[in-house]
Structure 1
């Protein structure tokens, strides 16, 4: 095997890695792009196996990686395509449970080391939950190392039988984190005016319109702040299967809420907001939470999954499913500028403690090194 090195010694090929992504959510897809960029910059050959639409959206080839189209499906043709892409790999790194299971199938009979990163927890019930547990067990018992983005994911991997499970450092990719508006003082009122929030507080939530996001609870909470003067406007950016149901509730109950669809300018929306809201039933390293703290926007979030470890004391945390607690936290913060300033300062300090992209790549490279370098007997 080739040693992990940004400058491979004379006569040795650079390390060859395959990153497997099943389409992925925003966090895992952005992480794979960031990881690919960092690995390529250090002389590692990277092939990303993912659906074409993922490459179009995240530009893996734009950072120097090769891309092979592999559909999300685990049918024989997709597994065969992945197996062919992994034929000359020194190491395969799969992201997410279903991508990991496809990698296990594709590597069957081979000694290629497999690293798995769990970015999130699958949300299924009934018979599918049993199937999920079987898939998890097969994956973690095959993988050389399982990385979890939260401590509870690491614990879950260990309980399921992982030989080696570790907490993963996942730095928020730079372009969305570091890009500063050319004139924030001008753009903020413009963004608020376009959203219809001139002269009133603006609350922002970002994420797919799925059941686990807790938007039903958020709409329940929105009724409570209708009594405020001026009435805050809640803007939800995202698309999903619950859009029609949520829109019907907004209209029937005359709630001060706007669904604005999927947006590419989430950072600008947050920068214009008075508060960011995260009412989910479970999150790992929420991109919204990270961007809110980086943007110095006070955050109200549910105390679930990896959120408490991620934000520390730099956000107002409430129980999931408790509309009154959520509404009370929002009303309290809107009436307490000093507490908002305190959260902004704490948020900046907390964000500075998170791993950077370089630190994330360094951790992954050290694991690749463990698994590929020959060790003396």
Structure 2
């Protein structure tokens, strides 16, 4: 997905007389959290905050945090401890990052802020371990920021002293979305057939097995729509095997840097996840005026409002029918396109998000003993 700079006032004053020092801790290079940290780094640095991003080296290569005005440190334990030792506020993104940051902060006074990215785990041993980690991180944090109401509720359930709603704004529309959609459709082989797109890692929680079930039903449509999935992950081999064995009209594109252009060229976007907080795909689809069919899970309903068709998670029949219905109804797609742009106009901007986070940092600084 796109990662454009945060708009800031032309003459943004520095933060106070002594620059605030913050460390942003990122565990992994997921599109949502990586894009958010890049956005925060840009906006905070523009306001005079000294920002250090501790993340895997590959995340720096992907998001160019130094280009956003931040310093970069690898996520090795020693580097993280050194960075946290000199920080006024440490802000971790995700539960695992929160755990690592809380350990690195032992013996230091800097408060910990945790943005609650990521999906709740299912049952079983992994789910129990996840809940234990969530409790530890929620209780260690001075403030937990959830991008959706259900994340805030979960953080409170896990014992957070202070949990708040803090919407994670997606970057504004990039110029790339204005590219010729015909070129993208020609590349994908969808010039004279409908194009359906999904974007996200090939992992079980994305619900792609159900999406392939729906694609099997679309083979009866005329013309047969092409489903493309942009993303990479451990399920690739399994999904590719099914596509070949069942002769499904599906292409796995791997990880794409031009996902925004592909999305803008699609007739329908699909989001089939078991859980989502504030989905980048949903935000970019609505902004681009692309009709969206999404599972009614997590923060999706409050994000999209009436501007998307919502279906139950795991219901292949409802998913297949919703997409087929939109493909056969251009007027309904146009209605959703207009509703999507109107809904997107109500979301907070990147500038709003940075201002809210900075206000939290300011509040924590005021709490500290002089």
| TM-score range for the pair, normalised by the shorter chain length | over 0.9
Q: 1:274 aligns with which of 253, 267, 271?
A: 267
Residue in structure 2 matched with residue 49 of structure 1 by the alignment: 54
Aligned residues: 359
Is 1:252 paired with 2:245?
A: yes
User: Is the 8 Å Cα contact of residues 116 and 146 (structure 2) preserved in structure 1?
Assistant: yes
Deviation sequence 1:89-110 (CA, Å, 0-9, x none): 1111110001100111111122
Q: 2:105 aligns with which of 100, 103, 107?
A: 107
Residue in structure 2 matched with residue 67 of structure 1 by the alignment: 72
What is the root-mean-square deviation in Å for CA atoms of aligned residues? Answer: 1.7
CA distance in 2, matches of 1:125, 1:108: 31
Residue in structure 2 matched with residue 305 of structure 1 by the alignment: 298
Is 1:7 paired with 2:14?
A: yes
Q: CA deviation at 1:21?
A: 0.6
CA distance in 2, matches of 1:122, 1:44: 32
Q: CA deviation at 1:369?
A: 0.7
CA distance in 2, matches of 1:56, 1:173: 19
User: Is the 8 Å Cα contact of residues 293 and 347 (structure 1) preserved in structure 2?
Assistant: yes
Q: CA deviation at 1:127?
A: 2.2
- Decide whether aligned partners of structure 1 residues 365 and 301 sit closer, same or farther in structure 2, where only a CA change above 3 A counts: same
CA distance in 1, matches of 2:335, 2:71: 45
- Structural mapping, 1:143-292, within 5 Å: 143-174=141-172, 177-181=173-177, 184=179, 187-292=180-285
Q: CA deviation at 1:376?
A: 10
Residue ranges of structure 1 left out of the alignment (5+ in a row) = 72-77
Q: CA deviation at 1:181?
A: 4.9
Q: 2:124 aligns with which of 123, 126, 146?
A: 126
CA distance in 1, matches of 2:197, 2:119: 24
Q: CA deviation at 1:7?
A: 2.7
Q: CA deviation at 1:336?
A: 1.1
Residue in structure 1 matched with residue 81 of structure 2 by the alignment: 83
Deviation sequence 1:185-227 (CA, Å, 0-9, x none): xx21121111011111011111111111111101111121111
CA distance in 2, matches of 1:6, 1:115: 24
CA distance in 1, matches of 2:81, 2:176: 42
CA distance in 1, matches of 2:241, 2:15: 60
CA distance in 1, matches of 2:357, 2:211: 37
User: Is the 8 Å Cα contact of residues 151 and 306 (structure 1) preserved in structure 2?
Assistant: yes
TM-score, reference length from structure 2: 0.93
User: Is the 8 Å Cα contact of residues 142 and 161 (structure 2) preserved in structure 1?
Assistant: yes
CA distance in 2, matches of 1:319, 1:197: 28
User: Which SS does the other structure have where 1:227 is aligned?
Assistant: coil
CA distance in 2, matches of 1:6, 1:192: 45
User: Which SS does the other structure have where 2:145 is aligned?
Assistant: strand
CA distance in 1, matches of 2:149, 2:136: 21
Deviation sequence 1:56-104 (CA, Å, 0-9, x none): 1000000110000014xxxxxx1x3311111111111110001100111
User: Is the 8 Å Cα contact of residues 40 and 354 (structure 2) preserved in structure 1?
Assistant: yes
Residue ranges of structure 2 left out of the alignment (5+ in a row) = 1-11
CA distance in 1, matches of 2:216, 2:324: 12
Residue in structure 2 matched with residue 75 of structure 1 by the alignment: none
Deviation sequence 1:122-145 (CA, Å, 0-9, x none): 435422322222221111112110
Residue in structure 2 matched with residue 33 of structure 1 by the alignment: 38
Is 1:295 paired with 2:324?
A: no
Deviation sequence 1:149-177 (CA, Å, 0-9, x none): 11111001111111100001211123xx2
Q: CA deviation at 1:260?
A: 1.3
Is 1:371 paired with 2:369?
A: no
- Structural mapping, 1:131-146, within 5 Å: 131-146=129-144
Larger of the two Rg values belongs to structure: 1
User: Is the 8 Å Cα contact of residues 120 and 149 (structure 1) preserved in structure 2?
Assistant: no
